[in-house]
Amino acid sequence: MEDDKKLAGLLRKGLESQGFIVDFCDHGDDAYTLATTRPYDALVLDIMVPGRDGLSILRNLRDQRLTVPVVLVTARSALNERLEGLNLGADDYLTKPFYVDELVARLHAVTRRASGHALTLLHHGSLTVNLVTRETRQNSELIELTAREFALLTYLLRSPGQTFTRAQICEHVWNYHFDPGTNLVDVYVQRLRRKLESDGDASLIETVCGVGYRARPSPAAAKPS
């Protein structure tokens, strides 16, 4: 959440270049609705925005026992404001101006702490996905994935055996409602299959006819470590 649209655009571009999937809004009421209805890995809240300010959003989230990691951002450096945010349950704090790389590092840190270091790797057979470094390896060989391909893969691998509709996948990975006339999900599934499958290997991503896709269950499917 950031009310300076130019800065927000730069932050979004920088975060997406590092593999993050980003939702942006410039009004606190919209930010609060998103934060309470979607499962985010972390939130970046500007304290001074129209509508609900960042501290109010944080207070309400914690009152509802929503523990999503929160990084607060402000142009002011007053100690009492920083303390108030941390006492309300913020996980970290940044004062403008700051580098995108610093925000990236802080987001990685708060998400690692939130997971208790428990869920940093996903395993599925010979495939390993590192959720912190965002690296994907097959038999230890690095596989280059785009941000959307990585988001699609991890979405399926977190729940092996569970079938997701194209609408669910589109909502999570692309953050917009599914258009029945698009084959976007199918195209990305095919790209992933080409990158991940070795000769003779069964498909990691299975098609469930008339429904959608799922990660094939296996004895070692997507175990966290």
How many domains is the chain built from?
2
Picking from 114, 140, 167, the residue at the C-terminal end of a domain is: 114
Q: Are residues 77 and 161 in the same domain?
A: no
Is residue 130 domain-shared with residue 73, that is, in the same domain?
A: no
Name the DSSP letter for residue 53: -
Q: What is the side-by-side strand order in the sheet with 212-215?
A: 164-165, 212-215, 205-208
Do both 108 and 156 map to the same domain?
Answer: no
The Cα–Cα gap between 11 and 24 comes to: 10
Q: Enter the DSSP assignment of 41.
A: S
Q: What is the dihedral of CA 14, 16, 20, 21, to 10 degrees?
A: 130
Residue 117's pLDDT is: 46
Q: Check residue 189 and give its pLDDT.
A: 94
CATH of the domain at 58: 3.40.50.2300
Place of tokens 């300076």: 4
pTM of the complete model: 0.56
- Asked whether residue 125 falls in the same domain as residue 99, the answer is no
pLDDT, tens only, 85-125: 888 888 888 888 888 888 888 888 887 776 654 456 788 88
Q: Which of 47, 80, 114 is the last residue of a domain?
A: 114
pLDDT value of residue 205:
92
Its sign, for the CA torsion 26, 29, 32, 34, is negative
43 and 63 in a single domain? The answer is: yes
- With a pLDDT cut of 90, the percent of the chain lying above it is 20
Min mean pLDDT across 8-22, 45-59, 135-149 is at: 8-22
pLDDT band for position 133 (cuts 50, 70, 90): confident
Q: Are residues 17 and 72 located together in one domain of the fold?
A: yes
State residue 3's pLDDT score.
52
pLDDT tens-digit profile of 18-29? 778 888 888 889
Reported as a single tens digit per residue, the pLDDT across 193-214 is 999 876 445 588 999 998 899 9
Q: Are residues 104 and 172 in the same domain?
A: no
- Residue 115 pLDDT: 60
pLDDT tier at 170 (50, 70, 90 boundaries)? confident
Q: Are residues 174 and 83 part of one domain?
A: no
Written as one letter, the residue type at 6 is K
Across all residues in the chain, what is the average pLDDT?
82
Same domain, 68 and 147: no
Residue 189 to residue 170: CA distance in whole angstroms: 12
- Residue 80 is predicted with a pLDDT of 72
Q: Do 14 and 98 belong to one domain?
A: yes
- Residue 74 confidence class, pLDDT cut points 50, 70, 90: confident
Length, in residues, of the chain: 225
Residue 171's domain is classified under what CATH number? 1.10.10.10
Q: Which among 61, 89, 114 is the end of a domain?
A: 114
Assess whether 61 and 138 both reside in one domain.
no
- Statement to judge: residues 74 and 142 lie in one domain: no
Phi-psi group of 89: left, alpha or beta (phi > 0 → left; psi -120 to 50 → alpha; rest → beta): left
Domain, as residue range, for 198: 121-224
pLDDT of 220 > 60? The answer is no
More confident residue, 134 or 59: 59
Amino acid 208: pLDDT = 93
